[in-house]
Amino acid sequence: MRLNALLVAARVDPLDAEQTGRFEEYLSLLVRWNARINLTAVRDEDGILARHFVESIACARALPEEIANLLDFGSGGGFPGIPIALCRPEIEVTLAEAQGKKAAFLQEVVRVLSVSANVHAGRAELLKMQYECITLRAVDRMDEAVETAARLVASGGWLALMTTQRDLDRLQLRAGRGFSWQSPIPLPGGDERLLALGRLSVSSPV
């Protein structure tokens, strides 16, 4: 599959045969639905693979091993939440998406691919529980979203920001003082894209 060639080129471990088949189904669903409801501005298959899939798989592989549950905040077309659910089946993934049509797409992906994930069709801030990890990627009003997401991180949990070097300092400040940040992990695809992992200390409020 083209995706494995892109992963190898990006120095990311390739997928196994089962994962490859499920990502192929995901791509087919995404292209079909994207023609109707604008899930992503990237519309060609090669662009989706290179821009969205490779970056999301790299994120999935970089997340700490001990995470048991995760919230993908403002999941949109399912990035990075669906790839995380496919690559890290031991993590209980919740996909939060407030736009009804996008949430319907996520529900269809979960059904067709038999993904072990839950879809919250509503605003993430209305969720009652906290999570061991929260991911954010290309969310509308990202600064405000980071503030909201930080309040949903469980004590000792992680905030995973997929952003750029230019925006990193600002977003880390918006998360609050309770987070200790690891060195950013470069993401494939250029544009100074990176993954920033911040851990909320057990005793510190956000």
Model confidence at 160, in pLDDT bands (50, 70, 90)? very high
Q: Which domain holds residue 28?
A: 2-200
CA distance 122 to 99: 7
Is the residue at 166 inside a domain? yes
Please report, rounded to a whole number, the percentage of residues in the chain having pLDDT higher than 90: 84
Query: Does residue 42 surpass a pLDDT of 90?
Result: no
pLDDT in tens, 93-120: 999 999 999 999 999 999 999 998 999 9
Model confidence at 38, in pLDDT bands (50, 70, 90)? confident
Is the residue at 206 inside a domain? no
CA distance 112 to 153: 30
Confidence at residue 41, expressed as pLDDT on a 0 to 100 scale: 78
Query: Does residue 74 surpass a pLDDT of 60?
Result: yes
Mean pLDDT of all residues belonging to the chain: 94
CA distance 199 to 184: 13
Take residue 13 and report the two structure tokens written for it: 């471990």
Is the residue at 205 inside a domain? no
- 196 or 204: whose pLDDT is higher? 196
Query: Does residue 206 surpass a pLDDT of 60?
Result: no
Torsion of CA 2, 14, 159, 195, to 10 degrees: -70
Q: List the CATH number of the domain containing 34.
A: 3.40.50.150
Is the residue at 171 inside a domain? yes
Q: Which of 62, 41, 72 is nearest to 145 (CA)?
A: 72
CA distance 155 to 35: 41
β-strand partners of 153: 131
How many domains does the chain fold into? 1
Query: Does residue 194 surpass a pLDDT of 80?
Result: yes
Is the residue at 147 inside a domain? yes
Model confidence at 205, in pLDDT bands (50, 70, 90)? low
Please report, rounded to a whole number, the percentage of residues in the chain having pLDDT higher than 70: 97
- The amino acid present at 175, given as its one-letter code, is A
